[in-house]
Amino acid sequence: MKRSHSMLLLAIILLMVLSACSSGNTNKQTNESDSNSERSGKNQQASSGEKTKLVYWTFDRHDADFIKETVDRYNASNEDNIHVEVKSMAENYAQSVDIAFASGQSPDILRPNQDTMIPFMKKEYLEPLDSYLTDEMKQKFEATFQDQVNQFDGKIYSLPNFGYTLRLVYNVELFEKAGIEKPPASLDELVDAAKKITDVGKADGQYGFALNFKSPKSALDRSAREILQLSGYDGFGFDHKTAKFDFTPYKEVIEAFKQMKDDGSMLPGVESLDIDPLRAQFAEGKIGMYLSYSAEAGVYSSQFPAKIEWAATLAPTITGEIKGTSGFANSGQWLAISSQSKYKEEAWKFLSFMYSDETLQAYHEKGLGLSAVPTIASNAKAPELTGVDGFLISEYDALWPVPPAVTVEGLNYGDVFLKYILGGGDLDEAVSDLNQRYNSALDKATASGEIKVTPDASFDPIKLQGSMLAK
């Protein structure tokens, strides 16, 4: 009894001591954050010779070293007395940003991407850049301005840096082993190649094809997407000519995938396979082919050093004939300025440094991402990464108009198609059900004014060919 008494007393004393320590901290923190939230940074200015402090939040990890170096260089050399602090958020970037804005502690510089751009826009987090853009910059980035991507209501909110091309990634050694001369150019050849590779390789645990079906939509968005785009159809089921959803073009692609599954040419367990385990198996030489973004090149040089010879090439089309262009993905945005920032001018100065030719070119050449800016892409040397040459921007890559994002009720197309691939059923019915649900969601969103779509009868993806190469 006495013992528990004294233990409790001890605990309380400990707690008081701890609280004394951290209240000290708390007070310090409170002071700091008070002055920070005023954004006049008087303390900072007094102590570090009147430097303007900017906070820059990004979620990119693959370029962390490069960014840090670049920012350090900027801090040391810039003549505007600006000091930039870079922070890489682990996960939950969007959430962290939400919370920062809600408590008035937003960073000055943000890194929106294709998923967060529209929410950030609608929540009014971003400052329009038009007044800051010089004529020179306008010209440089002209080709990359896209509505609903980085341009809203005629105003520019972010500029692109890099993007990803999509390709068929394949194991050269397995192709040789199976006696296949060149990578497949049509769906039939794809199914065929997968089967051949599996036939000769199964005993060694090698299979012809795989995709990360643990996230079905993600898997299709990196595979069916560019197959459709090269064949002349939108990669997300949206028909730009009629401004309506139509998933019919998916049918042949999904049938081909199902055929490969039924043939046993797919790595067992694809439905629970995540992208990293897939990459690990590919690096081990267990997978013949898959489709993905140009980020794979970086992955196979450092994270999962490839033990086999691999290459990338244009994705197959439905019939073998190229009637469109492969989309250039995740490219429209990079840096943006916070609408809450008290130092927008200074932030822009930093941005123009980051968007300078030297920085962007170095980014591209180090293999951190393929430049989305035509002049940079054509002037820069090829990135120094094994296997990246198959990914380089060609005449068959282009920026597609963006389909509207709608709230669909029930299973999305990724889940619906995976269901068919695994278990069969009536594909026609599934497609018409998808069309009906997606279009009713579209109608709802248009009616409430949330989305605006206009049909473009003259849209033809063939016309986009060559648009990414500088004139």
Partner 1 sequence: MSKQKALENYSFIFPSFLLTMVLGIYPILWAIHYMFYDYKGYGEKLFIGLSNFKRLWYDELFWNSVWNTLIYAGGKIVITIPISLILAVILNRKIRGHNLLRAIYFMPTVISTAVISVVFFIIFNSYNGLLNQFLQKLGIISSSVEWLGPKYAMLTVIIVAIWGAIGNYMLLFLAGLQSIPEDLYESASIDGANAVHKFWYVTVPMLGPVMQMIILLAITISLKGYESIMVLTEGGPIGKTDVMFLYVYKLLFPVSTGSVYIQEIGYGSAVGFATAIIVGLVTCVYFILSKKMNKIY
Partner 2 sequence: MPSTIAIQAERNKRVQRKLIGMTANAVLWLFLLAIALFTLFPVVMTILGSFKSNMELTSGATLLPQKWLFSNYVEAWQQANFSVYTWNSVFVSTAATIGTLLVASMAGYVVDRRNFVGKKLFVALQASTMFISIGAVVLRPQFELMVSLNLHTSLWGVVLILISAHATTFFILLGFFKAIPHDLDEAATLDGCSFTGIYWRIILPLLRPGLGVAALFAFRAAWNEYILPLVFTMNNPMQQTLTVGLANLRYANSAAMQTQLMMAGACLSMLPLLVVYLLANKTFMQVTAGSIKG
CA distances from 235 to 12, 149, 223, 226, 413 (A): 63, 16, 9, 6, 12
User: Of the listed pieces 273-281, 390-398, 427-435, 443-451, which binds partner 2 according to CB under 8 A?
Assistant: 273-281
Distance between CA 199 and CA 327 in Å, rounded? 33
Closest CA to 159 of 26, 331, 289, 324: 331
Closest CA to 286 of 169, 399, 187, 201: 201
* Cross-strand partners of 84: 54
Tokens of 8: 């409790």
Q: Out of 128, 264, 277, 401, name the contact with partner 2 by CB under 8 A.
A: 277
Element (H, E) at 432: helix 427-447
Q: How far is the CB of 95 from partner 2 (least distance, A)?
A: 8
Closest CA to 141 of 359, 356, 344, 430: 356
Is residue 466 at the binding interface for partner 2, with CB under 8 A as the rule?
A: no
Q: How far is the CB of 263 from partner 1 (least distance, A)?
A: 16
- Residue closer to partner 2, measured from CB, 39 or 323: 39
* Cross-strand partners of 168: 291, 313
Q: How far is the CB of 180 from partner 1 (least distance, A)?
A: 23
Among partner 1, partner 2, none, residue 204 binds (CB under 5-8 Å by kind): none
Residue 392, CB half-sphere, CA atoms under 13 Å: how many? Answer: 17
Tokens of 299: 């992955």
The site for partner 2, by CB under 8 A, has a size of 45
The amino acid at 164: Y
- Residue closer to partner 2, measured from CB, 25 or 48: 25
Is residue 331 at the binding interface for partner 2, with CB under 8 A as the rule?
A: no
Is residue 10 at the binding interface for partner 2, with CB under 8 A as the rule?
A: no
Q: Out of 256, 354, 406, 427, name the contact with partner 1 by CB under 8 A.
A: 406
Phi, psi of 336 (to 5 degrees): -145, 165
Is residue 263 at the binding interface for partner 1, with CB under 8 A as the rule?
A: no
CB 313 within 8 A of CB 168: yes
CB 75 within 8 A of CB 49: no
- Residue closer to partner 1, measured from CB, 94 or 311: 94
Q: Out of 37, 45, 215, 375, name the contact with partner 1 by CB under 8 A.
A: 215
CB 287 within 8 A of CB 267: yes
Binding mask 109-138 for partner 1 (x = CB under 8 A): ------xx--x--xxx--------------
Q: Out of 305, 410, 425, 455, name the contact with partner 1 by CB under 8 A.
A: 410
CB 403 within 8 A of CB 237: yes
Among partner 2, partner 1, none, residue 25 binds (CB under 5-8 Å by kind): partner 2
Is residue 214 at the binding interface for partner 1, with CB under 8 A as the rule?
A: yes
The site for partner 1, by CB under 8 A, has a size of 43
User: Of the listed pieces 46-54, 233-241, 296-304, 453-461, which binds partner 2 according to CB under 8 A?
Assistant: 296-304
Q: Out of 9, 20, 29, 345, name the contact with partner 2 by CB under 8 A.
A: 29
Closest CA to 413 of 397, 393, 432: 432
Closest CA to 217 of 458, 413, 426, 14: 413
CB 382 within 8 A of CB 297: no
Closest CA to 354 of 8, 82, 52, 19: 82
Is residue 224 at the binding interface for partner 1, with CB under 8 A as the rule?
A: no
Closest CA to 361 of 349, 372, 350, 351: 372
Among partner 2, partner 1, none, residue 405 binds (CB under 5-8 Å by kind): partner 1
Binding mask 48-87 for partner 2 (x = CB under 8 A): -------------xx-xx----------------------
Q: How far is the CB of 376 from partner 1 (least distance, A)?
A: 25
Binding mask 7-36 for partner 1 (x = CB under 8 A): ------------------------------
Which residues from 268-327 bind partner 1, rule CB under 8 A? Answer: 268-269, 271-275, 277, 281, 286
Closest CA to 206 of 127, 296, 266, 272: 266
Distance between CA 29 and CA 78 in Å, rounded? 29
Tell me the DSSP string of 34-52: HHHHHT--HHHHHHTTSPE
Is residue 43 at the binding interface for partner 2, with CB under 8 A as the rule?
A: no
Q: How far is the CB of 383 from partner 1 (least distance, A)?
A: 22
Continuous H helices in 78-185: 93-102, 117-122, 135-141, 172-178
List residues near partner 1 by CB under 8 A.
Answer: 94-95, 98, 115-116, 119, 122-124, 205, 213-218, 221-222, 267-269, 271-275, 277, 281, 286, 405-407, 409-412, 414-415, 418-419, 422-423, 448
List residues near partner 2 by CB under 8 A.
Answer: 1, 4-5, 11, 14-15, 18-19, 22, 25-26, 29-30, 33, 36, 61-62, 64-65, 88, 90-92, 95-96, 98-100, 102-103, 105, 276-277, 279-281, 283-284, 295, 298-299, 302-305
